[in-house]
Amino acid sequence: MKRKAYTFIYYYLLFLIPFFSFAEIKNTNNTDWPLEMNSSKNFDVASKCEMLVFIEVFNEYDILSKYDLSLKVKVKNIKEQSVEKWKKETKKRILTNLKRLSNTSLKDLVIVRKGSSWALLSEIELQKILPNNFTNWYNSTKIFYNNYIKEQIRLAALYPRITSEILQFSKNEVQGHNFNDKSFLLTFDDGPTRVNGNTDKLINVLNRHELTGMFFVLGENLEKRLKTSSKKALNNLYGENKVYSHGKIHKSHQKYTYWKASIDETNTLIHNVFSTEDKNELAYFRPPYGQRNKALVAYFGERNSKIVFWNIDSRDWSSKLNAEQVANRQIKLMLLWRKGILLFHDIHSKAQKAVPLIYNYFKNTSIKWEDSNVVFD
């Protein structure tokens, strides 16, 4: 009898495990938005609510002392100047983005007056105003922005000791916040992979959805691929997508003695393989980890080229996120920032699933997917 009882409990627990793990995923992610994403207006309503939760969490961080912030983001010597700069730029972006919302969307669900100040927006008690079926969304969104803002402030607190996409040295560096409202660009890093690997699979997915993007390749990986693929095959593979540089090897270019050689060699390689019009042109560059130095940035200025960062980071390299979670993260950040450059990695498989999920979610909302020919100026 006893053994039978144990067996029963064992099977009972086994049966419960999937439910527990599912509940965990749901709590930290947004599949919880209860309204349909089927119009431009509904994009705006969701966008407004994302921004309002973001403001709530931002303010919770804003009142922390230097000491508490340091503990929270786990950085010993916080670079206050950079944190303040990020805060200022972020507030400005959110206020500008709120002005882009249509009048009908401003009146829906939570009334927001056009041109409201940060202080006025901070007074809105979203949790009290939203109907009950928004509770799950609200709670998961709070957690989401808590993590996201922590992540962003941490990067700012380290800058420029450790550089990243968080702040720019010059206008020559593009992050995506200056795109037109509701315009988004797909970018993929670290490829190419071996023949029929993840790069090829991803490009197939893009082709099926009539999407194109920018691929920031590693010179080293392109050389490896050239041993088994002809130039023609590579041109056919990338098709309408654009191929730019991620440097020769995946190494921080901030204190790298050979940064210039890394850029020049990869540039020559790209011109050699792909049918580029102007062979003297310096291909756009995305520094590994977003880390670069002022001399590197100036070099691109002299050569009239750009350094291309991102403002919508999928974190698809993280083992903590599956493809659905990657998609949900990007969906929330697209609603928050309303424009910009999405970062994925074609060497991983998650983008193959995440990109279609994002594409289908926003299919009827009149957002624009930039094609790879977008020129930064």
Contacts with Zn ion by CB under 5 A lie at: 189-190, 288
Q: Compare residues 48 and 248 and give the one whose CB is closer to Zn ion.
A: 248
Output the six-digit token pair for 206.
Answer: 């893009």
Comparing CB distances to Zn ion, the nearer of 97 and 254 is 254
The three-state (H, E, C) secondary structure of the chain, written as one string: CHHHHHHHHHHHHHHHHHHHHHHHHHHCCCCCCCCCCCCHHHHHHHHHHHHHHHHHHHHHHHCCCHHHHHHHHCCCCCCHHHHHHHHHHHHHHHHHHHHCCCHHHHHCCCCCCCCCCHHHHHCCCHHHHCCHHHHHHHHHHHHHHHHHHHHHHHHHHHCCCCCCCCCCCCCCEECCCCCCCCEEEEEEECCCCCCCCHHHHHHHHHHHCCCCEEEEECHHHHHHHHCCCCHHHHHHHHCCCEEEECCCCCCCCCCCCCHHHHHHHHHHHHHHHCCCCCCCCCCCECCHHHCCCHHHHHHHHHCCCCEECCCEECCCCCCCCCHHHHHHHHHHHHHHHCCEEEEEECCCCHHHHHHHHHHHHCCCCCCEECCCCCCCC
Distance CA 369, CA 367 (A): 7
CB of residue 243 vs Zn ion: minimum separation in angstroms? 15
Smallest distance, Å, CB 343 to Zn ion?
9
The least distance separating Zn ion from the CB of residue 45, rounded to whole angstroms, comes to 35
Nearer to Zn ion, 134 or 215 (CB): 215
| In the complex, minimum distance from the CB of residue 230 to Zn ion, in angstroms, rounded to a whole number | 26
Q: Which is nearer to Zn ion, 338 or 345 (CB)?
A: 345
User: Nearest distance from residue 59's CB to Zn ion, in Å?
Assistant: 33
Of the candidates 162, 174, 175, the residue with the CA atom closest to the CA atom of residue 292: 162
CB nearer Zn ion, residue 173 or residue 190: 190
Least separation in angstroms between residue 212's CB and Zn ion is 20
Question: Which residue minimizes CB distance to Zn ion?
Answer: 189
Is the Cβ of residue 53 or residue 341 nearer to Zn ion in the bound state?
341
Beta carbon nearer to Zn ion, 184 or 215: 215
**Nearer to Zn ion by C-beta: 165 or 189?**
189
Among the listed residues 61, 18, 53, 42, the one whose alpha carbon sits nearest the alpha carbon of residue 137: 53
Supply the minimum distance, in Å, between the C-beta of residue 335 and Zn ion: 26
Closest CB 218 distance from Zn ion, rounded Å: 8
Q: Give the nearest distance from C-beta 341 to Zn ion in angstroms.
A: 14
Beta carbons of 272 and 217 less than 8 angstroms apart: no
Residues 6+ apart with CB under 8 A from 202: 188, 346, 351, 352, 355
Nearer to Zn ion, 189 or 346 (CB): 189
Cβ proximity to Zn ion, 165 vs 190, nearer residue: 190
Q: How far is the CB of 246 from Zn ion (least distance, A)?
A: 6
Between CA 253 and CA 246 the distance in angstroms is: 10
